[in-house]
Amino acid sequence: MRKKRIAMLGPGTFSEESVHHFLGTADYEYVPFKLISDVFLATASGETDYSVIPIENTIEGSVTLHIDWLVHEVDLPMRAEWVYPIDMNLIGLPSITAEASVSSNETRLERLESGELKLVPPASWSKITKVFSHTVALAQCRRFLRTYLPQAEIELMGSNGESVRLVRELGDPNVVAIGTMNAAGMYEMGVLASQIQDNPDNSTRFILIGRDEIEFASAGKMKTTILVTPPDDYPGALHQALSAFAWRRINLSRLESRPTKRKLGKYYFYMDVEGSKDSVLVRAAFEEIEAIGCQVRVLGCYPSYNYEVQRQEGISSLS
C-alpha cells in the first residue's frame, strides 16, 4: 500500500519538525519544497496528498499570506490542526562557533524576569555582515537582531532550512542564519545562540490540508473554520452574525477581517468556531447567518491538538 505523501517546507524547517512530531515518520512520505507556494500547489495538483501549512504564531499572529492562499488560490479543506513550540537559533559555520558561543549552558541564553535577553555578545558578532532567514522567523527575532546584530544586512529566504544550507554553501564566517537545531545538525553547522525569539513561550499553529479525510487514533477537540462575507450596505450584519453564535453559547476562538481582493473596502471575516459544523447548534448558527444575507464558506472541520496534550498521550497515539 502506497504511503500518503505530505508536502512541507524543508528540509530542516519547523514545519518538518512539527509534522514529524505530530504524525511520526513511519507511515507517511514527506516531500520537501523550498517555497510555500510550491507546498500548496503540490497538493492542489495531486502530486502530494496533503500539505503542512504554518498559519499563526504567538509573536507575529496570523500568517496572512498563507490564509490568503487557502482562500483565494486553492480549494483544499483543513484536516487537522496542531500547536508546536518554536525556538529560534542563530546558526553559523562550525569553525566560529567555539569562539562565538555566548553561554556555558549549551549556548542557551539567559533571560531577565522581564523576558529580555541577558547577554554580552562576543566581539566576533560585530563582524557579522548578513543574516539569512524566512520572513516569519525574522519577525519573531526583531529585538535580538536590533540589539545584537544592528549592523547586519537581512536577506529573506524561502525557508529557514534553505537559509542554513546557503550559509554552509557560502562558507563565509561573517554570514549567519536563523533556523532550527535540526538544520544545524543536518548541515553540520554550529549554534551560536539558541532561543533568540522575542518571547520564550513561542508557538506556531500548523494545519494539514488535503482533499481526503484522514483518521487519527487520538481524538482532538473539533473546530470549524469559516469565512463570513456580509452583504453590501447592510448595517449591523457582523453584529448579527456574531450574535448567532453568542446566544447559542458557541465560542469563537478567532475572528479577523481580510480583504476580499475584489473591491476596496470589501472584507470577509475569518472565524474559528469551537465545535463541529455537524452539531445542531453550529449548523443552526450558520443558517441564521445566511438568512440575513451573509455568505458562509466552510474551510474545514477538523480535530485540533494541543502540544502538552500530545506529550501526555504520546506522539504515537496520533499516528
Answer whether residue 279 shows pLDDT above 80: yes
DSSP states of 77-107: -EEEEEEEE---EEEE-HHHHHHH---TTTT
Select the highest-mean-pLDDT range: 23-32, 88-97, 120-129. 23-32
Mean of pLDDT values over 40-56: 94
**E strands, 26-88, where?**
28-33, 50-57, 61-62, 78-85
Answer whether residue 107 shows pLDDT above 60: no
Answer whether residue 267 shows pLDDT above 90: no
Mean of pLDDT values over 276-305: 94
Mean of pLDDT values over 47-64: 89
Give pLDDT, residue 316.
43
Give dist(CA 51, CA 306) in Å, integer: 19
Question: Could you tell me which residues come within 8 angstroms of residue 72 by beta carbon, excluding any fewer than 6 positions away?
Answer: 261
Mean of pLDDT values over 74-78: 92
Task: Provide the residue type at 4 as one letter.
Answer: K
Give pLDDT, residue 154.
93
Instruction: Classify residue 194 by burial, with Cβ atoms within 10 Å: 0-12, 13-18, 19+.
Output: buried
Give pLDDT, residue 231.
84
The residue among 213 and 110 whose pLDDT is bigger is 213
How much is the pTM?
0.82
Least confident interval from 235-249, 273-287, 302-316: 302-316
Task: Provide the residue type at 205 as one letter.
Answer: R
Mean of pLDDT values over 233-244: 84
- Collapse the DSSP code of 285 into the 3-class scheme (helix H, G, I; strand E, B; otherwise coil) and give the result: helix
Give pLDDT, residue 98.
47
Answer whether residue 115 shows pLDDT above 60: no
**Average pLDDT, whole number, for the chain?**
86
Answer whether residue 28 shows pLDDT above 70: yes
Give pLDDT, residue 317.
42
Give pLDDT, residue 49.
96
Answer whether residue 91 shows pLDDT above 90: yes
Give dist(CA 169, CA 167) in Å, integer: 5
Give pLDDT, residue 233.
66
Give pLDDT, residue 110.
55
Q: Which of 278, 293, 292 is nearest to 224 (CA)?
A: 278
Sort strands 4-9 and 28-33 into parallel, antiparallel or unpaired.
Answer: parallel
Give dist(CA 9, CA 24) in Å, integer: 16
pLDDT tens per residue across span 141-197:
999 999 899 999 999 988 889 999 999 999 999 999 999 999 999 999 999 988 899
Q: Which of 83, 19, 80, 36 is nearest to 56 (CA)?
A: 83
The residue among 266 and 91 whose pLDDT is bigger is 91
Which CA distances in Å does 17 have to 52, 131, 135, 199? 11, 22, 18, 20
Instruction: Classify residue 45 by burial, with Cβ atoms within 10 Å: 0-12, 13-18, 19+.
Output: exposed
Q: How many CB atoms lie within 10 A of CB 66?
A: 20
Give pLDDT, residue 285.
95
Cell numbers linked to 9: 517546507
